[in-house]
Structure 1
Amino acid sequence: MLKRIREALPTGPGVPAFAGATFVNSVGLGIYYPFSLLFFQSVLGTSLTRIGAALTVAALLALPLLPYVGRLIDRFGPRQVLLVSTVVRASAFAGYLLVDSFWPFLVLSVLVALTMRTEQAATPALAKVLAGKEPPGRWLALSRALFNAGFGLGALAAGLTASASPEVLHGVGAGNAVCIALAGLLYATLPRSRPVGATPGTDRSDKVQPWRSRPFCGVVAAGAGLWMVAVSVEVALPVHLVRDVGAPAWTTSVLFTLNTVVLAVFQVPVAHRVERVRPAVLVAVGAALHIAMPAALAAASHLAPAPRTVALIAAMVIYTVGELLASQAVLTLLTALSPDARRGSYLAFNQMFIGLANALTPLLVTSALDHGANLLWALLTGCALAVAVLMAGPVRRVPAERGAPEPDAEDRPEPTVTA
C-alpha cells in the first residue's frame, strides 16, 4: 500500500513546499470553521443571524472581483498571487480580533472571501506549473488529499480544546492566521513561476474568453453542480438525521469522519490508478455514485436503527468514491481545457460559479427541508444525473493524462475571438 502511494506521488523540488503549504493552510481552516460563528459572535457581540447575513453578502460581493484576480494570475504567475493572497487573508483574520463594529467586519469578510476564492483558482494553476511534464493530476490529488487530512486534523484539535471561554474563541482566529502565514512562507520558497506556454497575445486561444469555450463551460457547470450536491449533503444530513429521522447525533459524526478519512487516504492512489481513463468518464461515473447518499437519506426514515446505520455508512462510502473520482477529474478538465497563458482567468471564472453555489446552496437547502426532505433528495439526484449527462457533450474526448489519444479537432475548444 505504501509503495503504491509513493509511486503515485508527484516528484520534483517543489513538492515539499507545495504539500506543506496546502497542509498547514487546511489545518487552519479546520481549526476555524467549526467555531467560526461563535468566534465572530464573541468578537462582535451581535446575533448569529446578522453575522450569517454579513458572511453571505461578503461572499457575493467578492465574486465580481474574481476576473481581475484571474488576470493577475496570468500576468504575475500563481505563486506570486498566492503569496499576496496569504498575506491579505492572514492580516484579515488578525484584524477580526480588533474590530468591534459591523462595517469593518463586513470589509474584512469580503477580503477573506476574495482571498479564499483566489487560492482555489491559483492553486491548480500552480500545480500545473510545478508539474512540468509530469501528469498534473498527481499534484492536484496530493493537494486534495492533504487538504482533507489537514482540515480533519484541525477540526479535531479545535474540538478537543474548545470551550465557551472568550480566550479560546479568540484563539480560533489567531490560530488560523498563524497557519495561513506559515503557508505563505512555504509558498515563498518555491521558484518564481509564470503560466507555462506562449506569451499572452501570441496565440489565438489567448483571446478566447472562458464563456466562449463550450467544453470549458460544460465542466464549470458540472463542477458547480457537484459542489451544490456536496454542500447540500453537508448542510442537510445532520438536520435530517437528527431532527426528522431521530438518529443519534454520533451517526452524523461517524459519516463525516468516514468521508474525510477516505478522501485523505485514498485520493492519491485512486488518482494514480485512473490516470489512463478519460476524465469525462470519471466525472460521469463519480456523479452517478453521488446519488447513493440522497437515496440513503430518503430511505432512512423507513428503516430500523441498525439497518439504517449500515445503509448510511455504505452510502457514504459509495458517495465518497464518487467524490474521489469526480472532483479530481473536474480539476483535471479545468486545467486541460484552459489555455496556458490564460489559465488564471479561466480558473477564476470557474470560482465565480463555485462561490455563487457556496453562498446560495445553504439557503436553498434549508428552504427545501422546510417543504419536505424528499423534494431535496429528488433535486440532488436530478443535479447529479444532469452532471453525468453533461459529460457526454464536447468534453467527452478530452484525453487521459497518460496513454490516451488526442481529442479530435471537432472536440477542441473553438478559438472564437471576442469583439
Structure 2
Amino acid sequence: MLSGLKASLPTGRGAPWFAAATFANAVGMGVYYPFSLLYFDAVLDSSLTAVGTALTVAALIALPLLPAIGRLIDRWGPQRVLCASTAVRAAAFAAYPLVDSLLAFVALSVPVALAMRTEQAATPVLAARLAERGDAAPGRWLALSRAMFNAGFGLGAVVAGLVVAADQDVLVKVGTANAVCVAVAAALYLALPGGRATSTTKPVPDAQLTPPADVRSTRPWQNRPFRIVVAAGAGLWIIAVGLETALPVHLVRAGATPAWTVSVLFALNTVLLALFQVPVAHRVEKVRPATLVAVGAALHVALPAALVVADALPQAVAVAVLVAAMVVYTLGELIASQAVLTLLTGIAPGERRGAFLAFHQMFVGLANALTPLLVTVSLDRSANGLWALFTVCSVGIAVLMAVSGRTLVPPRTRQPAETVRAA
C-alpha cells in the first residue's frame, strides 16, 4: 500500500514544501474552525447571534473584492499571494483578542474572510504551476493539497477538542494557536522552490485538462464550460457545508442514534479523505473529469437518503446505515471535488487562471455564507425537506455534468469510449 501511495504522489523540489505549507495552514484551521463561535464569544463577550451575523456580513463584504485578488494572482504569481494572504490572516488572528467592539470585529474579519477565499483560489493555481515544473499531472498536486488539508484539519480539530474539553479557559488561546500555524505556513510558502513557471517550462501532457481554443475566453463569466463547472462546484459546496452543519443538529435532536455517532461519522470522513485522496486521484486520472463529477455527485445522495430512513430504524441498525452511507458519500466527495478542481484549473487559460478561480471562489464564498441560514430555517420546519433538497441538488449536478461532459473535453483530445470505460 505504501509503495502504491508513493507512486501516486507528485515529485519535484517543491512537493515537500507545498505539502508542509498546506498541512500547517490546515492545522490552524482545524484548531480554529470548530470552536470559532465559542472563541469569538469569549473574546467579544457578545451573543452568538451577533457574532454569527458579524461573520456573515464580513464574508459578504469580502466577496466583491475577489476579482481584484484574481488579477493579483495572475500578476504577482500564486506563491507571493499565498505568502501575503497567510501573513495577513496570522496578524489578524493575533489581533483578535484586542478587539472590543462588533464594528472593529467586522473590520478585522473582512481581511480574514478575503484571505481565506484568496488561499482557496491561489492554491490550485500554485499546484498547476508546480506541475508544469515537475513530471506529474496537475491532478496529483491538487490531490496532495486536499489530502494534506484534510489531514491537518482533522489533527487540529482533534487536538483542540481534547484541550478545550479539559479546560474551556483556553478558548481565548485558539486564535493565537491558529496565528502561529498560519505564520508557519506563510514561511513555508515563502521558502517554496519552483513556484513560478518560466517561459521554457513545458506543461505536463494531460488530455483531460487542455481546453479548446474556441472556449478560452478571457472573462470567466463568458466562458460557458467554466460556468458549468462553477455551478457544479458551488452546488457540491452547498451540499457539503449543509450536511456538515445540519447533521450534528439533526442527530442530537432526533435521538435515534447515540451522541457519539456524530464524532464517528466526521472522524470517518476526515480519515478517508486524508488517506485516500491521492491514491484515488491517481487511479482515476485517465477518466474524463466531467464523468467523475457526475458519478461523485450521484454518490452524494447516499447520506441524505440514510438520514431520511435512520429515524425509523433500531439504534444499532441506524448507526450501521449512517456509517455505510458516510463511506459512500465520502467516496463521492473524493471523486467529485478532485475532478471539479481539475476542470477548473484545466479550462481556465494559464495566464488568467487566478482571475478564473477567484470568480469561482465568489460563488463558493456566497454558498458558505448563506448555507447555514438555509439549514437552520429548514431544520425548524422539516429535516426531511432539507435532505430532499440536497438529494435533488446532487442529482441535478450529476445530470448537468453527464449532459455537458463532452463539451468540457476538447474534440481533438477526446478518448475513444472503449478507453474511457477501461480506465
Query: Under a length normalisation based on structure 2, what TM-score does the superposition of the two structures give?
Result: 0.91
Q: Specify which of 175, 185, 188 is matched with residue 186 of structure 1.
A: 188
Deviations 1:329-352 (A, max 9, x none): 000000000000000000000000
Partner of 2:265: 255
Q: Aligned partners of 2:246 and 2:315: how far apart in 1? A: 19
1:204/1:373 Cα in 2 relative to 1: closer, same or farther (>3 Å)?
Answer: closer
Q: Aligned partners of 2:72 and 2:48: how far apart in 1? A: 35
Partner of 2:274: 264
Partner of 2:220: 210
Q: Aligned partners of 2:119 and 2:98: how far apart in 1? A: 25
Alignment check: 8 A CA contact 2:304 2:387 kept: yes
Q: Aligned partners of 2:199 and 2:216: how far apart in 1? A: 10
Give yes or no for the alignment of 1:35 onto 2:42.
no
Alignment check: 8 A CA contact 1:196 1:341 kept: no
Give yes or no for the alignment of 1:84 onto 2:94.
no
Partner of 1:130: 130
Deviations 1:53-87 (A, max 9, x none): 00011111100000000000011100011011011
Which residues in structure 2 correspond to 1:36-185 (within 5 Å)? 36-132=36-132, 134-163=136-165, 168-185=170-187
Alignment check: 8 A CA contact 2:292 2:335 kept: yes
Alignment check: 8 A CA contact 2:14 2:194 kept: no
Q: CA deviation at 1:393?
A: 4.0
Identity across matched positions, percent: 63
Alignment check: 8 A CA contact 1:245 1:300 kept: no
Q: Specify which of 331, 339, 357 is matched with residue 341 of structure 2.
A: 331
Deviations 1:357-393 (A, max 9, x none): 0000010011111111111111100000111111134
Q: CA deviation at 1:148?
A: 0.6
Deviations 1:209-267 (A, max 9, x none): 10101110000000000011111111111111110244221011101100000000011
Q: Which amino acid aligns with 1:353?
A: F
Q: Aligned partners of 1:212 and 1:197: how far apart in 2? A: 28
Deviations 1:158-210 (A, max 9, x none): 01111586751121000000000000100111247446779xxxx99776210
Partner of 1:413: none
1:273/1:252 Cα in 2 relative to 1: closer, same or farther (>3 Å)?
Answer: same
Q: Specify which of 361, 369, 372 is matched with residue 379 of structure 2.
A: 369
Q: Aligned partners of 1:235 and 1:224: how far apart in 2? A: 16
Q: Which amino acid aligns with 1:312?
A: L
1:300/1:163 Cα in 2 relative to 1: closer, same or farther (>3 Å)?
Answer: closer
Q: Specify which of 406, 409, 414 is matched with residue 413 of structure 2.
A: 406
Q: CA deviation at 1:21?
A: 0.3
Alignment check: 8 A CA contact 1:278 1:397 kept: no
1:50/1:158 Cα in 2 relative to 1: closer, same or farther (>3 Å)?
Answer: same
Alignment check: 8 A CA contact 1:195 1:341 kept: no
Q: Aligned partners of 2:259 and 2:89: how far apart in 1? A: 34
Partner of 1:276: 286
Partner of 1:18: 18
Q: Which amino acid aligns with 1:97?
A: P
**Which deviates more, 129-138 or 331-340?**
129-138
Q: Aligned partners of 1:136 and 1:345: how far apart in 2? A: 18
Partner of 1:317: 327
Give yes or no for the alignment of 1:357 onto 2:367.
yes
Q: Aligned partners of 1:78 and 1:99: how far apart in 2? A: 31
Q: CA RMSD in A?
A: 2.0
Alignment check: 8 A CA contact 2:216 2:223 kept: no
Alignment check: 8 A CA contact 2:215 2:225 kept: no
Q: Aligned partners of 1:124 and 1:314: how far apart in 2? A: 31
Q: Aligned partners of 2:294 and 2:412: how far apart in 1? A: 20
Q: Aligned partners of 2:216 and 2:138: how far apart in 1? A: 21
**Which deviates more, 68-77 or 159-168?**
159-168
Q: Which amino acid aligns with 1:126?
A: L
Give yes or no for the alignment of 1:292 onto 2:294.
no
Q: Aligned partners of 2:77 and 2:176: how far apart in 1? A: 29
1:264/1:115 Cα in 2 relative to 1: closer, same or farther (>3 Å)?
Answer: same
Partner of 2:247: 237
Give yes or no for the alignment of 1:223 onto 2:233.
yes
Q: CA deviation at 1:46?
A: 0.8
Q: CA deviation at 1:295?
A: 0.2
Alignment check: 8 A CA contact 2:13 2:193 kept: no
Alignment check: 8 A CA contact 2:215 2:223 kept: no
Deviations 1:296-351 (A, max 9, x none): 00001111111111110000000000000000000000000000000000000000
Partner of 2:206: none
Alignment check: 8 A CA contact 2:4 2:279 kept: yes
Partner of 2:209: none
Alignment check: 8 A CA contact 2:93 2:175 kept: yes
Q: CA deviation at 1:395?
A: 3.9
Q: Aligned partners of 1:192 and 1:103: how far apart in 2? A: 41
Q: Aligned partners of 2:286 and 2:407: how far apart in 1? A: 13
Alignment check: 8 A CA contact 1:80 1:192 kept: no
Q: Aligned partners of 2:127 and 2:221: how far apart in 1? A: 23
Question: Could you say what secondary structure the match of 2:402 adopts?
Answer: coil
Q: Aligned partners of 2:214 and 2:187: how far apart in 1? A: 37
